Amino acid sequence: MDKKWWKEEVVYQIYPRSYKDNDNNGYGDIQGIISKLDYIKSLGANVIWLSPVYKSPDDDNGYDISDYYDINPKLGTLDDMKELFAEAKKRDMRIIMDLVINHTSDEHPWFIEAKNNPDSKYRDYYYFRKGKKNGKKAPNNWSGYFSGPAWEKIEGTDDYYLHLFSKKQPDLNYHNPAVLEEVKNICKFWLDLGCSGFRCDVINIIYKSSLEDGKPRIFLTGKEHYVSQDGCHKILKEIRHEVLDKYDCFTVGESSEATMDMAKDLTNDELHMLFCFEHLNIDIIGAPVFRTKFKPWKLNKCLTKWQLNFPWNTSFFECHDQVRVVSRYGDDKNYHKESAKAIATLQFGLKGTMFIYEGQEIGMTNVKWNSIDEIDDVSTHYVNKLLKSLHLPKKLSWKLLTNFCRDHARTPMQWDDSINAGFNEGNKTWLKVNENYPTINVKNNLEDKDSIWYYYQDLIALRKSKEGLIYGDFKPVKANKNLMVFERIYGEEKYLVCVNLSKKTIRHNLDTKGKILINNYKKENIDEVLLPYESFIIEK
């Protein structure tokens, strides 16, 4: 296994508007992040992935960029960003940025020009097409990620433009080589300024190989025309060779709908690693709103498949698009601490670069939403519209919506028990604070040696001290259906990782001889009965 610094690091994702609001305007900001660098470093994470901070009308909180070379004034300035790079460097930390190049904002000057002037060179930066039936019908039958048609009509014309996400996020056209040149320049600009790589937003769908109708599906009609196409591989290779390979940086691509084979291609001389979501789709049926009960064996099966067949990837359970993992695969009511730690043990026991998301280190949970007005997430609003048009019973609609709503993960970071959880000094907040902040917060965690926070700190330190936990092979061990058990083997080094993913007490006959490196019940000996969500790593 090739050794690389980015395989050994732990990456901490920040959703900037939710992290720390130093200027008290209701939005977290870059100065807020700077003031928390020591905090992140003390946890053991040396790399930060920043969700977008670029100029944006914020339809999708920065994933709709209107200027790739400037910063959203709500979050700070370019000088703040330079300061962040410098302050991170002082601490031996690195920053990776979000690269959102499947689409821009409809308020990007390219799009404005393209829309207003069909003869402009920017027209071909996007997909503008005449509608069918004299403009009455969209150019094809594709549906978007946020539900509804993927085309928006331009008023007063027969023309439409393609948007796989919100209608304020028009898709860029990579058949036009000028678009790729723009992207290379954007990458160079930020790498030269001091960033150490990119998390590449929905990167495997950027190339549309045709605009033909797609096979009708519940979710993403049309996807066979854009998921991981040859044209996409060609582009990624070009960016890798002409730009990325000239810097000491890494990329992690957010993949969408990628199979194992697609993922292998995407990391072969293209991206360094990928976010694949199969393990976060095991409780989903058909479309993200339809959720079923979590089944540990399904998670085990899925993770085992990826661990055995994929040479190097990411290990993650949270991000800004997913509900909180302790509320999803754990039990945030009866076993909050135990289950948060169990999931942490699983994540850090696995092979791959570790990515944790702000608040995961203190077991932040899903939120109790009272009405749609409290929700900001653009995708939830799209789906709400769709559900309304279906005239489903209100209670059912609300359940479906709040099951997947991305705002669960986006509420302000809970720093302490003061007003607004210490996120700011008591001004409004762009999204409400989770009401459990008086108990679940960083301050409480730091005052309790047995907290989830210290458990993460221990796990991170442990992983850094044992090469075998980083580079070791993964070998599954058969056990009870509610357990996930595996070994990590690296030359002479051997570890046993065992996680009870249920609230059941489970009798086992695993060989637990060896040194306990970590155990969430702090047992001196592992006995034959595992307690709810008990987990441990043993050095054999």
Q: What stretches of 244-332 adopt beta strand conformation (E)?
A: 250-254, 273-275, 314-315
Where are the alpha helices (H) located in 203-295, listed in sequence order?
Answer: 230-242, 260-266
Q: What is the DSSP string of 85-146?
A: HHHHHHTT-EEEEEE--SB--TTSHHHHHHHH-TTSGGGGGB-EEEPHHHHTB-SS--B-TT
CB of 169 to ligand TEU, least distance (A): 6
| Tally of CB atoms within 10 A around 261 | 10
Q: Does 201 bind ligand TEU (CB under 6 A)?
A: yes
Instruction: Please indicate whether residue 338 is annotated as part of the active site.
Output: no
Site string for ligand TEU, 364-383 (x = CB under 6 A): ---------------x----
| Span 452-511, contacts to ligand TEU by CB under 6 A | none
- Name the residue nearer to ligand TEU (CB basis): 202 or 356: 202
**Annotated catalytic residue 107:** no
- Candidate list 59, 60, 152, 358; residue touching ligand TEU; CB under 6 A: 60
- The 286-315 contact track toward ligand TEU, x by CB under 6 A, reads --x---------------------------
Alpha-carbon distance of 173 to 209, in angstroms, equals 10
Residue 498 CA to residue 521 CA, distance in Å, equals 13
Cα separation, 346 vs 443, whole angstroms: 25
Which residue of 63, 317, 355, 415 would you call a contact of ligand TEU, by CB under 6 A? 63
Q: Quick check: 404 binds ligand TEU (CB under 6 A)?
A: yes
Q: In whole angstroms, how close is the CB of 21 to ligand TEU at the nearest point? A: 20
Should residue 533 be labelled a site residue for ligand TEU when binding is judged by CB under 6 A?
A: no
**Least Å distance between CB 16 and ligand TEU?**
13
317 counts as binding ligand TEU under rule CB under 6 A = no
Largest CA distance in the chain: 75
**C-beta of residue 54 within 8 angstroms of C-beta of residue 71:** yes
Report which of 377, 376, 397 is spatially closest to residue 386, judged by C-alpha positions.
Answer: 397
Question: Rule CB under 6 A: is residue 316 a binding residue for ligand TEU?
Answer: no
Instruction: Please state, in angstroms and as integers, the Cα–Cα distance from residue 228 to each residue in 260, 307, 355, following that order.
Output: 11, 21, 23
Binding ligand TEU (rule: CB under 6 A), the pick from 138, 186, 202, 496 is: 202
Residue with smaller CB distance to ligand TEU, 180 or 258: 258
Does position 100 interact with ligand TEU (CB under 6 A)? The reply is yes
Exactly one of 21, 254, 321, 361 is catalytic; name it: 254
Binding status of residue 321 toward ligand TEU by CB under 6 A: yes
Give me the phi and psi of 152, to 5 degrees please: -120, 135
* 355 binds ligand TEU per the rule CB under 6 A: no
Q: Does 256 bind ligand TEU (CB under 6 A)?
A: yes
Phi, psi of 535, rounded to the nearest 5 degrees: -150, 150
User: What's the closest the beta carbon of residue 233 comes to ligand TEU, in angstroms?
Assistant: 20
Q: Which residue among the candidates 201, 270, 376, 487 is catalytic per the annotation? A: 201
- The answer to whether 78 and 72 are in contact (CB under 8 A) is no
**Cβ closest to ligand TEU, residue 407 vs residue 487:** 407
Alpha carbon distance 382, 145 (integer Å): 10
Catalytic machinery residues: 201, 254
Binding site for ligand TEU (CB under 6 A): 60, 63, 100, 145, 165, 201-202, 254, 256, 288, 320-321, 379, 404
